Structure 1
Amino acid sequence: MVAETKYCAICAWREKCQKRYSVRTDSMGNVYCNEYTRDLSLKRKEEGEEQNKEAATRIERYIEHQLRRMKVLSEEELKGGASGAVITISRETGTGGTEIANRLSQALKMDVMDNEIIEYVAESANISKKVIESLDEKEVSRRDAWIASFFEDKHLWPDQYLDHLTKIIATIGRYGNTIIVGRGAHYILPPEKLFRVRLVAPLENRIARVMETRKMTRKEAEKYILKTDNDRQAFIRKYFHMDITDPSHYDLVINMRIMTVDGAVEAIQAAFLKRKILEPPASAA
């Protein structure tokens, strides 16, 4: 291979780059300079900083939206302490958690955070939404994460995902007036600010619902339910050392066996507005 002196294409992202290096050509015909690795890492760092700024800006916009919304709500609408409060909804698969959360948000004039959390975490971690979805509410072994790292240009380890998830949920919870679906939010946020709901139903009821909503066969629906529930339980057990099925972790548990979505919304709304407002624990002097 004959070395020649010319501009390295990798440095093209630098508007003022004037370096000249001897370059090498690999088997795929790609041209690299001697400082390719360093330059590429600098490029990625700059890109990451820019995307982190964009993610922070988006979260700030959400907070501003919440503050503006709370200002325009009438005193009657805020009566009962809805302002600043957070409702968390933990659910068995096939109990209609997302639909109930959306209906409840309309009734209480609160925002909903469900799959939007994936987008916030992806932006915060400067990584693709696809990678975050592979970690969302799942237990991922170090071995599986290590293997996956070979197939992604940018990779996020499960512990790093949890750090970003905790930061996002804490930011959302700080200003409240939000319904958060899943993601262990009721283990992340302080209990005095929460109204914690758990939705359950017999397996047969859940299979029927998933078959209808996801257009699956009975076998597909049952497999999907069991896998999703196992993933969620394992996620909570691994990262929060808790049993997601323990009823003592919730303020209200609703069995959807004979309950309609509207009935569940009314029950949650009534219980939420009648709840006892807890004071935060006094800080140590």
Structure 2
Amino acid sequence: MPIVTISRGTLSGGEALANCLKEKLGIPAIAEEVIKEAATLYGISEAEISRQLKEGPKVWERLLGEKRRIYLIALQSAMAEHATKGDFIYHGVAGHFLLQGVPNVLKVRLVAPLNQRIKSVMERKKLSEGAAREYIEKIDEERKQWTKFFYQVDWADPSLYDMVINLENLSLDTACGMILYTLNQPEFKETEEKRRAIANFALACQVKAKVALNERTRGIELEVEAEDGKVRIQGKLYTTVGIFATGLRQSEAEVAAIAKSIPGVREVEVKLRELSVPVE
């Protein structure tokens, strides 16, 4: 049984669909919970992670998006850890991006008519029709800018998903049934190879998060691969030209030491590229 991620606009039925699948499959449905797990795992503010994920990037963050990048790395690691423990349905922010490249993930995009969404917002938020429309447009635009900022894609692009379901002429029960049928197809059969790939992904995410959150190595842009305990790390080290530059070899040694301290890591290879930033 695979993991299911549900992407949707504000009040488009994502939570209801997740609960339907949860009841039929007997696996957990999660959203905000993973933010709490990330905060607990890495000792960072749950409220701050939540705020950073829900708000669109400000002008200065487009230039200096380091904090949000770190929170995303922590969130991805928490999601990966969840994946090693068993299947689940995720209907929070950016699940299909956070588990990119992980096998046995069914990525669903749920679309609902705007008038239906407006009605839901009016009832839940006690807003006028105009205010409800503005609320939806604001949240949708923030999510669109958020995904474009970090992943350089349009979150509504259908090619990002395995299934796109339009609820205009379909009920949630029908949508749920379509997903259940798909999950039973050979493409989503669990194998030992897929389980190993998930474990490797989780280990790579943990290494990346530990390095990104460490004061000595924060700011290094990393790509991490793991295979059965062997970890390969490549990245960019931005240094100032002057007396405060820390040095490439020292940074590589610090990254390696952090990686080796993580349970499950047997071998580490680190290769950083130094890029100098002039100080005026």
**RMSD after superposition:** 2.7
Counterpart of 1:108? 25
Asked if 1:183 corresponds to 2:183, the answer is no
Please point out which of 70, 74, 90 is paired with 1:164: 74
Counterpart of 1:261? 172
CA-to-aligned-CA distance 1:156-214 (integer Å, 9 cap, x gap): 92122112111111111233311111322212322432111000122222111222233
How many residues align structurally?
A: 191
Counterpart of 1:92? 9
Shift of 1:125: 4.0
Pairing of 1:7-156 with structure 2 (within 5 A): 82=1, 85-141=2-58, 143=60
Write the distance in 2 (CA, Å) between the matches of 1:176 and 1:236: 27
Pairing of 1:168-247 with structure 2 (within 5 A): 168-189=78-99, 190-247=101-158
CA contact (8 A) 1:118 1:136 kept: no
**Partner amino acid for 1:274?**
Q
Identical-residue share of aligned pairs (%): 31
- Closer, same or farther: CA 95–204 of 1 in aligned 2, 3 Å: same
- Closer, same or farther: CA 200–223 of 1 in aligned 2, 3 Å: same
- Greater strand fraction, Structure 1 or Structure 2: 2
Write the distance in 1 (CA, Å) between the matches of 2:132 and 2:142: 15
SS at 1:276's partner residue? helix
- Closer, same or farther: CA 128–242 of 1 in aligned 2, 3 Å: same
Write the distance in 1 (CA, Å) between the matches of 2:153 and 2:54: 14
Write the distance in 1 (CA, Å) between the matches of 2:58 and 2:69: 11
Q: TM-score, normalised by structure 1?
A: 0.60
Moved over 4 A (4+): 278-283
Asked if 1:271 corresponds to 2:188, the answer is no
- Closer, same or farther: CA 247–100 of 1 in aligned 2, 3 Å: same
**Runs of at least 5 residues in structure 1 that lack an aligned partner in the other structure:** 1-81, 147-155
SS at 2:56's partner residue? coil
Shift of 1:122: 2.6
Counterpart of 1:6? none
